[in-house]
């Protein structure tokens, strides 16, 4: 390893955090810790995946029921689960931004999820 390569390696490792543990047998285990931004991005993507899956599952369950049997408790329960999944999805999608444009884009995206079609952003 040349001196320039060693300097580059040191520069990249300075900003990273590591957790080091020494095991009873004398070996050393080193793990790279995630930064706050990396943890937030990972949590947000996992939460979005769960919210989308929950909404799609609730929509399919609700859509599979007969709409003329609104006296059936299962129909009302499915409607309630769909409303909760929709609210959770909106919270994850919009975050704190409740502007009309954000809500409009969310509703377009949600309809695409319900239809099962791909969503294309207008760019």
Give the residue among 106, 86, 84 at the shortest CA–CA distance from 97.
Answer: 106
Residues 111 and 59 in one domain: yes
- Cβ contact 106:52 at 8 Å: no
**Are the C-beta atoms of 81 and 56 separated by less than 8 Å?**
no
Task: Let me know if residue 123 belongs to a domain.
Answer: no
How much is the pLDDT for 113? 84
Share of the chain above pLDDT 70, in %: 72
State residue 55's pLDDT score.
Answer: 92
Q: Identify whether 53 is part of a domain.
A: yes
Q: Which domain holds residue 89?
A: 43-115
- Better pLDDT: 10 or 94: 94
What is the count of structural domains for the chain?
A: 2
Q: Are residues 51 and 108 in the same domain?
A: yes
Q: Indicate whether 122 belongs to any domain.
A: no
Confidence (pLDDT) at 11: 56
Would you say residue 10 has pLDDT above 70?
no
Q: Do 64 and 29 reside in the same domain of the chain?
A: no
Q: 50 with 101, same domain?
A: yes
């Amino acid at each position: 390893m040349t001196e320039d390569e060693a300097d580059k390696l040191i520069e990249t490792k300075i900003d990273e955090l590591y957790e080091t543990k020494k095991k009873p047998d004398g070996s050393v285990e080193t793990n790279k810790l995630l930064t706050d931004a990396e943890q937030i991005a990972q949590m947000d993507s996992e939460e979005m995946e769960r919210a989308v899956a929950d909404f799609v599952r609730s929509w399919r369950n609700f859509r599979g029921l007969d709409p003329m049997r609104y006296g059936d408790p299962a129909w009302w329960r499915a409607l309630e689960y769909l409303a909760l999944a929709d609210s959770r999805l909106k919270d994850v999608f919009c975050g704190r931004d409740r502007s009309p444009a954000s809500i409009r884009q969310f509703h377009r995206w949600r309809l695409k999820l319900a239809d099962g079609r791909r969503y294309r952003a207008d760019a």
